[in-house]
Chain A
Amino acid sequence: MSAPRDKFGRPIVVVTGMGVVTSLGAGKTDNWTRLTAGESGIRTVTRFPIDGLKTTMAGTVDFVTVDPFSSTGLTERLAEMATEEALEQAGIGGKADFPGPLFLAVAPVEVEWPQRLELGRAVGKTEFRYEDMLRVSGGGRFTQYHRRFMFGSVASYLAETFGTKGSPISLSTACASGATSIQLGVEAIRRGEADAALCVGTDGSVNPEALVRFSLLSALSTQNAPPQAASKPFSKNRDGFVMAEGAGAMVLESYESAMARGATILGVVAGCGELTDSFHRTRSSPDGKPIIGCMRKTLADAGLEPEQIDHINAHGTATPENDKMEYNTTAVVFGDHLPKIPVSSNKSMVGHTISAAGAVEAVFSLLTLEHQRIPPTINYEVPDPAILFDVVGNKARDARVTAVMSNSFGFGGQNASLILTREPV
């Protein structure tokens, strides 16, 4: 490998540990096997009643349970599992003594319905207002719900459990959050503030109100039967995304520090970029300029030309608007080279893990580099003729992959991209 600094003179940032949990399973091995076999983790929701819902399926992680149940509790547990796996692989630090900061992508936290209803029942009346609830909220009866529903609670737990250093950062850039957590880690290492950073994206928030919220914005697929076929990125008959749960964790280190301790280097975060879209709260600017600019900033940050990217791990949510916009903008950035780039969307199988997606897909991108095999986009039966990507449809494809671009776009004009490579560039 080359010198420990990149072509801009910055410390090279490498990945030395990864962990992942999705609806396909826990851990890299299970996920990779099922992902490359084209299996879907989407199923009909059984965690709560689905009566009255337009969308009744999701990529829930049902094999993990927390007691008492809350979405925030599940979110925390998924992050913990992914982090344990990443730390075990990295072999860094002592037990509960990770030598760097934590950057956590996490869904906004709020009091949830089971707890709210529990509180309502404690009022002892059948007609009441928030003021009545306030009267029974204090005095120690619900103390644990204060901590549970603080925004910083998941990061706080992880920081204590894994002994990360300094003030842990919880962040949200909506569906780009996972990518942003990695970007913050890269920046800290490049500034020389840290030799290592723990970057985690996690989301366990499939609950009735979350499903309803996305439903009311007409963002979700309603192709409920069979659930495995609902998520159809780049297909003409795609009709929305499928909510899902999961977590991805990465140990980032400076190349120098990883080499010094003899760590196995799994890959390199060669570039990151973001650019805000100020057009609309949920829709992209029709000219696509912010997304185009985001991808170009990321290429420039990595010091790479478009021709050097040989795989795109697409945002690929399967909403009618996203996939079309993603194709149009990618076509502008990559031009004549685009037909030579195989493109795939992991969301066809694991669904959209929202706050975790950027981190989960970065893990899958690095596994793609490791195995030189691209996971398929399943349910690709009716290609959208307006989307001329070389979609890796339905079956995994062996390919020479040296540099992957992973894209994430979110509500609120959030665009973030990462470039991951096997070797320093």
Chain B
Amino acid sequence: MTEPKSAGAKEVWITGIGIVSSLGEGLDAHWDALNARKINIDDKRFAPYIVHPLAPLSFDAQIPKKGDQRQMEAWQRIGTYAAGLALDSAGVKGNKEILGRMDMIVAAGGGERDLAVDEAIMSADAKGNSSPGFLNERLMNDLRPTLFLAQLSNLLAGNIAIVHGVCGTSRTFMGEEAASIDAARIALARISSGQSEIALVGAAHNGERSDLLVLYEFGDFNLKETYAPVWQREGRSGFALGSAGCFLVLESREHAEARGAKPYARLTRVVADLAQRKQPGAVTKSLEALWPKLGVAGDSGNLITGATGAEPVTSEEKAFLRQHAGFAVRATGTMFGHTLETQFPLGLALAAISISRGALFPPNDPTGLEVEKPDAPDQIVVMGAGHWQGEGMALVEAIK
């Protein structure tokens, strides 16, 4: 961490991508699914709520030890799996020299609760069976001792260190959608200034959790009854939680070239802000203020947004997009659901894949907001506005 005296801004490449989601695992599966406009929802299991369930996969491929899998809850398994895919994709899996100094920033929420324990305690309480020590005794007797480790936010990073050996540094950012925007922002700033050479950045989310549905239902954020694409939820707003894990390997151009790594794209800039959302239009204003900081060339291009489908933020995003009508927009929430911390890395990943494959994936939107864009993208803006706070953008570019 002894960076040079005048660290000129170093170019930062995306050299590894790992994705698992409701659409499958890996880049090819996702590319095919996006091109086939595939959407995978489950409207029965948590009816009337809709979720995008994780596609079936065998965790053994990236988490070989059953003991490790048992120590994790689903969100950690999803994330550890996606991190492994990203390391594979970057060609650094098992490279102890690199992994031993690789920096890691994970954006995380918290882990699953033991629903049966909660339900039993609450039912007993509702029956009036709550002596002063009742809660203590039930928790002491009924909680699995290691459940805490599957719940702690920083233990996704901990598991990635244990399973994949990523053990330079390890930081976990929290705070819903904004956490992963900041994770990408800080990782980029560190590499670009010479404080770091290579970093693993990403997040994971298990959307198939009734305790999470309860939390978002407090604010009436859940999509109910009938699925609709993100831009078609006016009057019936909300997000459908999605399960997904997405990690990226970011590294300085010099570091990538020295080891002969092939980049998907360049991560040029990440900007973020926190608008006080007290007045209508605050999010639109915040996004407008961020836009010139990105350095986007011209008034047409490509934009991938993590728009949630919840209101009022989605309408405010639309107002911003109307000011930039030359941009072909794609909303990941339509296909992946809302994956909270994972939505922004997912946007970065899809931008990098689109650039490396020379095409933006097709629109998936009956309202016409998303339009076809046949030419190969040079630049893709990735945008995120959190369902309750936090706004950010990134610029992903082709390497020429």
* Residues of A contacting B193 in the complex (Cβ-Cβ under 8 angstroms): 190-191
Residues of chain B in range 215-233 having any CB-CB distance to chain A below 8 Å:
215-222
* Residues of B contacting A273 in the complex (Cβ-Cβ under 8 angstroms): 1
Once A116-B122, A126-B126 are accepted as A-B contacts, the answer to whether A146 and B154 lie under 8 Å apart by CB is: no
In the complex, 27 of the A-B residue pairs with CB atoms within 8 angstroms, ordered by the A residue number, are A51-B137, A54-B140, A116-B118, A130-B119, A131-B46, A131-B210, A134-B217, A137-B213, A143-B220, A150-B176, A152-B175, A156-B274, A173-B154, A173-B170, A212-B140, A216-B143, A276-B104, A276-B166, A276-B167, A276-B170, A277-B161, A281-B155, A281-B158, A281-B162, A297-B1, A410-B154, A413-B170
Footprint of A on B, CB under 8 Å?
A: 1-7, 46, 49, 71, 104, 108-110, 113, 115, 118-119, 122-123, 125-127, 131-133, 135-137, 139-140, 143, 145-149, 151-155, 157-159, 161-162, 165-176, 178-179, 181-182, 185-186, 189-190, 193, 195, 210-211, 213-222, 272-274, 276, 386, 388-390, 392
* Residues of B contacting A54 in the complex (Cβ-Cβ under 8 angstroms): 140
State the main secondary structure of chain B at its contact with A: mixed
Scoring A residues 133 to 158 as 1 if CB is less than 8 Å from chain B, else 0, what string do you get? Answer: 11001111011111101111001100
Residues of chain A in range 310-347 having any CB-CB distance to chain B below 8 Å:
none
Judging by beta carbons under 8 Å apart, are B154 and A174 in contact?
Answer: yes
Of the candidates A149, A191, A301, A411, the one whose C-beta lies within 8 Å of that of B2 is A301
Of the candidates A129, A143, A145, A159, the one whose C-beta lies within 8 Å of that of B274 is A159
Judging by beta carbons under 8 Å apart, are A278 and B214 in contact?
Answer: no
Beta-carbon nearest neighbor of A117 in chain B:
B125
Once A276-B168, A301-B1, A412-B157 are accepted as A-B contacts, the answer to whether A50 and B218 lie under 8 Å apart by CB is: no
* Residues of A contacting B154 in the complex (Cβ-Cβ under 8 angstroms): 172-174, 410-412, 414
| Docked CA distance A212–B46 (Å) | 30
Once A121-B126, A159-B274 are accepted as A-B contacts, the answer to whether A130 and B210 lie under 8 Å apart by CB is: yes
Check if A307 is an interface residue, CB within 8 A of chain B. Answer: no
Check if A66 is an interface residue, CB within 8 A of chain B. Answer: no
Of the candidates B127, B178, B189, the one whose C-beta lies within 8 Å of that of A167 is B178
| Interface size class of chain A, counting residues whose CB lies under 8 Å from the partner chain | 35 or more
Once A116-B118, A278-B162, A412-B170 are accepted as A-B contacts, the answer to whether A121 and B125 lie under 8 Å apart by CB is: yes
Judging by beta carbons under 8 Å apart, are A275 and B169 in contact?
Answer: yes
Scoring A residues 31 to 49 as 1 if CB is less than 8 Å from chain B, else 0, what string do you get? Answer: 0000000000000000001
Identify which of A22-30, A84-92, A107-115, A222-230 touches chain B: A107-115
| B235 CB → nearest A CB, Å | 17
* Residues of A contacting B132 in the complex (Cβ-Cβ under 8 angstroms): 49, 51
Once A52-B133, A123-B126, A146-B218 are accepted as A-B contacts, the answer to whether A190 and B210 lie under 8 Å apart by CB is: no
| Docked CA distance A280–B163 (Å) | 10
Judging by beta carbons under 8 Å apart, are B390 and A152 in contact?
Answer: yes
Judging by beta carbons under 8 Å apart, are A216 and B145 in contact?
Answer: yes
Check if A388 is an interface residue, CB within 8 A of chain B. Answer: no
Judging by beta carbons under 8 Å apart, are B210 and A134 in contact?
Answer: yes
Once A52-B140, A167-B273, A300-B2 are accepted as A-B contacts, the answer to whether A278 and B167 lie under 8 Å apart by CB is: yes
| A351 CB → nearest B CB, Å | 19
Beta-carbon nearest neighbor of A218 in chain B:
B145
| Docked CA distance A174–B110 (Å) | 13
Judging by beta carbons under 8 Å apart, are A130 and B118 in contact?
Answer: yes
| B97 CB → nearest A CB, Å | 14
Q: Besides A169-B175, A213-B147, 8 other CB < 8 A contacts?
A: A8-B2, A51-B137, A134-B49, A166-B273, A193-B189, A276-B169, A281-B149, A282-B149
Judging by beta carbons under 8 Å apart, are A9 and B158 in contact?
Answer: no
Check if A64 is an interface residue, CB within 8 A of chain B. Answer: no
Q: Which of A111, A171, A414 has the most CB of B within 10 A?
A: A171
* Residues of B contacting A113 in the complex (Cβ-Cβ under 8 angstroms): 135
| Docked CA distance A140–B217 (Å) | 9
| Docked CA distance A10–B210 (Å) | 49
Judging by beta carbons under 8 Å apart, are A169 and B186 in contact?
Answer: yes
Of the candidates A128, A145, A168, A290, the one whose C-beta lies within 8 Å of that of B119 is A128
| A119 CB → nearest B CB, Å | 7
| B57 CB → nearest A CB, Å | 23
* Residues of A contacting B189 in the complex (Cβ-Cβ under 8 angstroms): 188, 191, 193
Judging by beta carbons under 8 Å apart, are B170 and A108 in contact?
Answer: no
| B222 CB → nearest A CB, Å | 8
Once A137-B214, A145-B218 are accepted as A-B contacts, the answer to whether A169 and B173 lie under 8 Å apart by CB is: yes
Check if A61 is an interface residue, CB within 8 A of chain B. Answer: no
